[in-house]
Amino acid sequence: MAKVNVCLRRVFSIFNVFFAIVGGLIIIFALVCQLITSLHGDFAVSHLGGIILLYVLGIITMVIAILGAYGAHRERKLPMIIFLICMVMGTMMLFRSGVNSLLIHPQLESLIKNEFETFIPLDRAPENKREMVSTMQEQLHCCGLFSHSDWENKYPDSCLCDPEVVEEPGECQAVNYLTVMMSQKYIYSKTCLPIIIEGIKPIIIISICMNFVLLVLALLGMILSSIIIHQMQKIPHQPTVMTVPAMFSPSPPKYQELQTPPHY
């Protein structure tokens, strides 16, 4: 088996180190997404599959990077072939998911709105959905999804705010309760859906960028591993041995003089 070019092996090792770092960043990104969505109850449960997929993608990325670095350092053909197969499959999957993400991104806002429209009216929504919205209202300091009328004037405690302790002016607004005493209370002036959409958009953009970074790395890894495997398959150059023809080799004489040793 032929030796792999030293410079190529070093470049490939640096590539795999960077590839492993990207895998670690994906795991950190999945952890951040999990922490953010865990504040939103059922909304987190509905997106649990995507978070698990990020964890799996990050772990697989790091394992493939370690496999490629080992194969190049030890000049083992089998790990390099497995690495190449993974790069080919990863390139195809990442290209497909990247195209789908670009097509879905303009429709993101309408998809989120369609999902939350099933919650309206909030006062008659299932208990788990009401608790989910109440948790978001407490965390985001908002009231209602599309408007305050989502609660049909039956505002929960998570909508109420104290105008004397709010940080921003105009964060609270006065509303009248339809009761016998016609009491007046203050609720958060902002609705929740615009805040949710603005919070999700950066996450989607980061996901798309990460997808195409991995696609470029997969293409580069496929090219480098193919070159290394090709060099491993080369037959090493055999040194030429000069032989002397038989016609020029010294031959024993045809006749030899026999000498009789003297008798003593």
User: For 163-183, what is each residue's pLDDT tens digit?
Assistant: 776 666 777 888 766 554 556
Q: What's the token pair of residue 7? A: 């410079």
The reported pLDDT for the residue numbered 203 is 77
* pLDDT surpasses 60 at 246: no
**Across 86-91, average pLDDT:** 87
**What tokens does 186 get?**
């203050």
Mean pLDDT of 133-142: 83
Please name the amino acid found at residue 118.
T
Under 8 Å between Cβ of 225 and 231: no
Query: Strand, coil or helix: what is 68?
Result: helix
State mean pLDDT over 84-109.
84
Q: Are 1 and 232 in contact (CB under 8 A)?
A: yes
CA-to-CA distance for 172 and 174, rounded, in angstroms?
Answer: 7
**Interval 65-79: pLDDT, tens:** 888 888 887 878 888
Burial (CB count <10 Å: 0-12, 13-18, 19+), residue 173: middle
* Residue whose entry in the numeric block shows the structure tokens 């037959």: 235
| pLDDT of 256 over the 80 cut | no
84 or 255, higher pLDDT: 84
Q: Position 93: which residue type?
A: M
Q: What is residue 258's predicted lDDT score, i.e. its pLDDT?
A: 54
Distances (CA, A) of 224 to 20, 72, 78, 80, 137: 16, 10, 15, 10, 51
Tell whether the model's pLDDT for residue 235 goes beyond 50.
yes
What's the pTM value of the predicted model, to 2 decimals?
A: 0.63
Residue 195: the pLDDT is 85
Q: What is the average pLDDT score of the chain?
A: 77
What three-state secondary structure class fits 250? coil
Which range (158-167, 216-225, 251-260) has the least confidence?
A: 251-260
- Cα separation, 95 vs 74, in Å, equals 31
The gap from C-alpha 251 to its chain's centroid, in whole angstroms, comes to 77
Lowest mean pLDDT among 88-97, 143-152, 185-194, 253-262: 253-262
Percentage of the chain beyond pLDDT 70 is 77
Mean pLDDT of 86-101: 86
Name the H helices within the chain: 6-37, 42-46, 48-74, 77-104, 108-117, 127-140, 192-233
Query: Any idea where the domains of the chain sit in the sequence?
Result: 6-113+201-233
Helix (H) or strand (E) segment spanning residue 174:
strand 172-176
